[in-house]
Amino acid sequence: MSSSSGAIRGRDGGRFGRTVSGLAVALGCVLFLGGFAWAAVDYRPYTVPTNSMQPTVNPGDRVLAQHVSGSEVHRGDVVVFKDKLWGDLPEVKRVVGVGGDTVQCCDKQGRLMVNGTAVDESYLPSGVPASMSNFKTTVPRGELFLLGDNRAVSQDSRTHLMDDEHGSVPVADVKARVEATAWPMGRMGKVGRTASFDALTGGGASAQGPLGWLTIAVIAGAVLILFGAAWTPLARALRRT
């Protein structure tokens, strides 16, 4: 009687284990593949070509940028864009002014001013003025004013003030908004949003995209797949002991 009961429990336990294992693998595949598929649709990798965005991103860094419309871009966002007057390659810069803004530099403390309000740009190296040269411009509607974080070397809207677009870039030229650095591994992580423009009318940088949640989904999926695959041999090994 006890031998028969043990056999029944063993069969029931094995069936339960296989069910748990199968569910873990199935859910893991959904999370893992779904996370990758969503990221592939929503994000694209870009290589930063110059040192104009240091220290935020370095030349040669591989960044992940979310596909967005230029109309969704806010002050403070780091964007990838391509403009015919700036060259043939995509560039990475930070939005400091949107349509209707008056952008000028600098106040007595060397700070950028937007619509008469001084902006403390926390992403700039300490003690470095917002620009080596003075300028003042009003951004046309439907356009953006873009500066590199490495103001001493960046070829940005300041150097294009005499162009037909007067330094501004049409929102249609924006390809994506930078979310994270993917490579090299030592610099892997999110490109954080800045609060520097929050006090301005209309607010500052946009909210983070879904990349963080997608990363969690992919990692959780991988863990569940490994757990499900290991469950049966692990259970057998435990029964033998």
Q: Check if the beta carbon of residue 114 is closer than 8 Å to that of residue 75.
A: yes
Asked whether residue 235 carries a pLDDT value surpassing 50, the answer given is yes
Q: Tell me the CB-side half-sphere exposure of residue 113, using CA atoms within 13 A.
A: 16
Confidence of residue 240 (pLDDT cuts 50, 70, 90): low
DSSP 187: G
pLDDT, tens digit (0-9, with 9 covering 90-100), for 29-48: 998 888 878 888 889 999 99
pLDDT, tens digit (0-9, with 9 covering 90-100), for 49-92: 899 999 999 999 999 999 998 888 999 999 999 998 898 889 99
The confidence score (pLDDT) of residue 5 equals 45
The confidence score (pLDDT) of residue 111 equals 95
Q: What is the 3-state secondary structure (H, E, C) of 83-101?
A: CCCCCCCCEEEEEEEECCC
DSSP-based three-state secondary structure for 59: coil
Q: How many percent of the chain have pLDDT more than 70?
A: 90
Cα-flanking dihedrals φ and ψ of residue 13, to 5°?
Answer: -65, -40
Neighbours of 15 (CB within 10 A): 10
Cα torsion for 45, 151, 191, 61, to the nearest 10°?
A: 40
Asked whether residue 13 carries a pLDDT value surpassing 80, the answer given is no
Say how far apart CA 200 and CA 95 lie, in whole Å: 14
DSSP-based three-state secondary structure for 94: strand
Indicate yes or no: pTM above 0.85: no
The confidence score (pLDDT) of residue 1 equals 45
